[in-house]
Amino acid sequence: MTRLGFDVGGTKILGVATDDGGALKRTLREPTMAGATELVDTLVTMVRELAPAEGAVSVGVGMAGLITIDGIVTISPNLVGVDGATVGADVSAALGLPVVFENEVNCAARWEVAAGAAQGIRHGVMVAVGTGIGGAFMGDGGVLRGANGLAGEPGHMIVEASGRQCPCGRRGCWEMYASGSALDRLAAERLGDAMRGPDVTEAARADDPAAHEVLAEFSYWLALGISNLCVLTDPEMVVIGGGMSEDWDLLAQPVSQHLGDLLIGRTAESLPAVVASEAGELSAALGAALSGALGDGAALSGALGDGVALSGALGETPCG
Ligand SMILES: [Zn+2]
């Protein structure tokens, strides 16, 4: 049995093939096209390229955006022309196979709990920093999905009232300040029009003081949003995923320092550990492969699904 998983992001689709035990066999990348029909066609083509001719496959698709439990994309601010689409059902119809379809960071969090950094963690938060920011709440071995499947979307948590205009239509969303796109913009503003996020991280690795200053400013915004998530859910661990997790060695220290300043009621021992995903940007695709193998029933309920009570790592409920 080959398990296939896909992570559909704002700029690329990452596909993985794993074996029965979840071990990575192959990866495949394609650019994200505008439009639901184009997206479905690309995914179907990728399934055929990734899956061997012999043997059955299971398919899971994780996608950025708000996706209901019924598999409808209500809004996906970083993708074009997919709002209202039923991507999973359309891929399933084209392949003649069941397809699990949900938010990509829920998939990533499921993988972190099952096989990654959050194994054995009872209360955790996943924050995926890429083009935008996605999130998921992990509790008691599962992933919290909420009444409609829309839980865990911290990228559109407002951190600056009347702040920057977000593609979602509102102002001051966290991902306008702490995503990969936000770092691109900050780099251009602080270091020159031609500069982007990867230029800043490269310069910081060469000990450029101006680059470290930009990362210090960026780290504050990252820590501010993480502190809000910690105030609400009291996690013992925050797992950072997405493309930015590859640069976590540069961000870990300043983010932890800001977090210590921002969080109240914590001692050094009760501050959450903030760690990078061990699978980096692969965790969502690996989690989608896992979710697809579990199937709808197993993925959406029970030990690896919802029905999770969030009592917090220290047993404190929000607002006491
Ligand atoms: Zn927004």
Residue 55 confidence (pLDDT) = 63
Q: Residue ranges per domain, the chain?
A: 2-104+284-304, 108-281
CATH number of 2-104+284-304: 3.30.420.40
Q: How far is the CA of 79 from the centre of ligand 1 (A)?
A: 13
Residue 311 pLDDT level (bands cut at 50, 70, 90)? very low
Q: How far is the CA of 35 from the centre of ligand 1 (A)?
A: 20
Taking only the tens place, the pLDDT of each residue in 96-124 is: 999 999 999 999 999 999 999 999 999 99
Question: Which tokens belong to 58?
Answer: 């299971």
pLDDT tens digits along 24-56: 999 999 999 999 999 999 999 999 999 876 566
Q: pLDDT class for 296, splitting at 50, 70, 90?
A: low
The total of other beta-carbon atoms located within 10 Å of residue 253's CB is 11
Residue range 66-78: mean pLDDT, rounded: 91
Higher pLDDT, 311 or 245: 245
Report the pLDDT value the prediction gives residue 267, as an integer from 0 to 100: 84
User: Does the fold of domain 108-281 match that of domain 2-104+284-304?
Assistant: yes
* 298 CA distance to ligand 1 middle (Å): 31
Cα 193 to ligand 1 centroid, rounded to whole Å? 24
Degrees, nearest 5: CA angle 100-110-21: 80
Output the average pLDDT for the chain.
89
- Residue 18: name the closest of 298, 286, 242, 277 by CA: 286
Residue 243 is predicted with a pLDDT of: 87
* Ligand 1 centroid from CA 219, angstroms: 19
Which residues are found with C-beta within 5 Å of the ion, ligand 1? 156, 166, 168, 173
Say how far apart CA 304 and CA 113 lie, in whole Å.
Answer: 8
Query: 38 CA distance to ligand 1 centroid (A)?
Result: 25
- Per residue in 86-100, pLDDT (tens digit) is 999 999 999 999 999
14 pLDDT more than 70? yes
What the block records as the tokens of 72 is 């409808």
Q: Torsion-angle region of residue 62: left (phi > 0), alpha (psi -120 to 50) or beta?
A: beta
pLDDT at 310 exceeding the cut of 70: no
Tell how far the Cα of 10 is from the centroid of ligand 1, in angstroms: 14
| Residue recorded with tokens 């997206």 | 39
How buried is 172 (Cβ within 10 angstroms: 0-12 exposed, 13-18 middle, 19+ buried)? middle
Q: Cα(208) to centroid of ligand 1, in Å?
A: 32
Written as six digits, the tokens of 300 are 């959406």
Distance 160 CA to ligand 1 centre (A): 11
CA of 181 to the centre of ligand 1 (A): 13
Element (H, E) at 302: none
CATH value of 108-281 in 3.10.450.50, 1.10.10.10, 3.30.420.40, 3.40.50.300: 3.30.420.40
